[in-house]
Amino acid sequence: MSSSNSAPAVYPRDVLLAIFSLTLPSSEQFKQRHSALTALRLVCYHWNAVVEFNAIFWSTIDISIPSQVIPQPALALWFDRSLDAALDISMKDTPPTNWTPSEIGLRTEFLSAIQSHLSHCRSLQLEISFGILPAFRNLQLAEAHRLEYFSVNMKGNTDADVHQNMIRQLCSLPNLHHLSCTSNYPLFTTSLLHHASPSWLSRLRHIEVSCPISSDEMVQLLNQCTFALSLTLNYVRPSSSNYPAPLFDPVKLSNLRVLDITLHSDVYQTLFHNFSFPNLKILKIQGPTMSDLSFTLNHLSPSLKLLKFNISLHRFMHPQLSAFLKHENIRKIPILEMECRQYEIWDEYEGWGGDENVTVFDSGASKEAFCELIDELNRQLSQDSGNAAAASLGGSHADRLVKYDKDLDLCHGWFIGWVDSGLCMKNWKESVSILL
């Protein structure tokens, strides 16, 4: 480290702060940001002081067990340097092969340190493993009055007392607007609806519930979360008394922009009969039938930018899907992402959005047949489009296929992809088989 008389020391503290803030990796890239801060502190005494005595540089805390990003002995110092800044804390846990008292003790120490600074916490992300559970039982979430974002993964834990205690405390937090929970506890949504007041639910802007939920509970939740901007619901199953088509107009969720839902087919029409989403921009649905998709046509938001769904088809349903894809309401959507499960290669499908052709195929084809299909398709694309990008496609079969884009515009080209256990597409989610 150089002395304070070195050239960098001439820059005023405020100027250095502005430069550091603009050049450092974002707080989401915690490891890179931590490394960059360490490098800055080694430049000279002046830079070290600027970093060390500004709480904003110490307000993001990422704890990863067993490979601790922040070693346990340094955690107290990190908290001290954060002063009264709003804290963003993430704790990830990879369970050991065998739980020993020392493993449980380490996790208890980390959670105790978080507890002592919970009143300054703005966001908290936790993975609750068996070793953390004893300390989590005693975590006083009600003290986190500044908490805006809470995410917890309790998958594998079904302890009713732990879940209900957590829910009761969360429902007392006045500033919470993002709630995300992954759990196998079958009564999570039931408990949430029981303990949360309508006014508290109406303050939530982002809701992610990955746990069992009935269609009745789905309707109750949507009726109360009227100001939500995004909503993710998984494992929605039919109730014993499904809601019939109402005699009144559906409830308008005008604020909702993103709906991501996994549901039983019997719940599908319950959702669209009871609610409308006039300003929805992203709709992701897992579990619909071809009949459900056809029903959706008259319920799509005119502002929809992306529609994603998966569907299982037999060959006799191809004409129905073709008619669905050609419908004017579908053709208006800039991005359509579709996953089909079947066991035969489709014929070439023509007529989407002009002169483009798209060959639709599925993961039932053999790898050899698939690779032959890709080679043929790439030859057609190179010859027909005159696109330099298409003509110069290289790499693996999957890479060549997925990179074709007529307009070199990620929102308006043809994207066709396929993946199974034997092929891996880079830069795309593994579940995608067709992206138009």
- Distances in Å between the Cα of 268 and the Cα atoms of 35, 123, 221, 326 are 48, 33, 16, 22
Name the residue ranges covered by the structural domains of the chain.
Answer: 1-53
Q: How far apart are CA 138 and CA 125, in angstroms?
A: 17
**What are 29-62's pLDDT values in tens digits?**
656 666 777 777 767 777 777 777 777 778 888 8
**372 against 287, higher pLDDT:** 287
Q: What does the angle CA 312 – CA 317 – CA 322 come to, to the nearest 5 degrees? A: 100
Which pLDDT belongs to residue 418?
Answer: 33
Q: Which residue's structure tokens are 């069992």?
A: 212
User: How would you class 217 by CB atoms within 10 Å of its CB: exposed for 0-12, middle for 13-18, buried for 19 or more?
Assistant: buried
pLDDT at 423: 29
Percent of residues, the chain, with pLDDT higher than 70? 67
- The pLDDT confidence band at residue 436, using thresholds 50, 70 and 90, is very low
Q: Please give the sequence-ordered ranges of beta strands (E in DSSP) within 110-164, or none if there are none.
A: 121-127, 149-154
Instruction: Return the closest-CA partner of residue 190 out of 217, 154, 172.
Output: 217
Other Cβ atoms less than 10 A from the Cβ of 43: the count is 16
Question: What integer pLDDT is reported at residue 268 of this predicted model?
Answer: 85
pLDDT exceeds cutoff 70 at 393? no
Higher pLDDT, 316 or 190: 190
* Mean pLDDT score, 335-348: 57
Mean per-residue pLDDT over the chain, rounded: 72
Geometric angle at alpha carbon 176, from 172 and 179, rounded to 5°? 105
pLDDT at position 347, please? 41
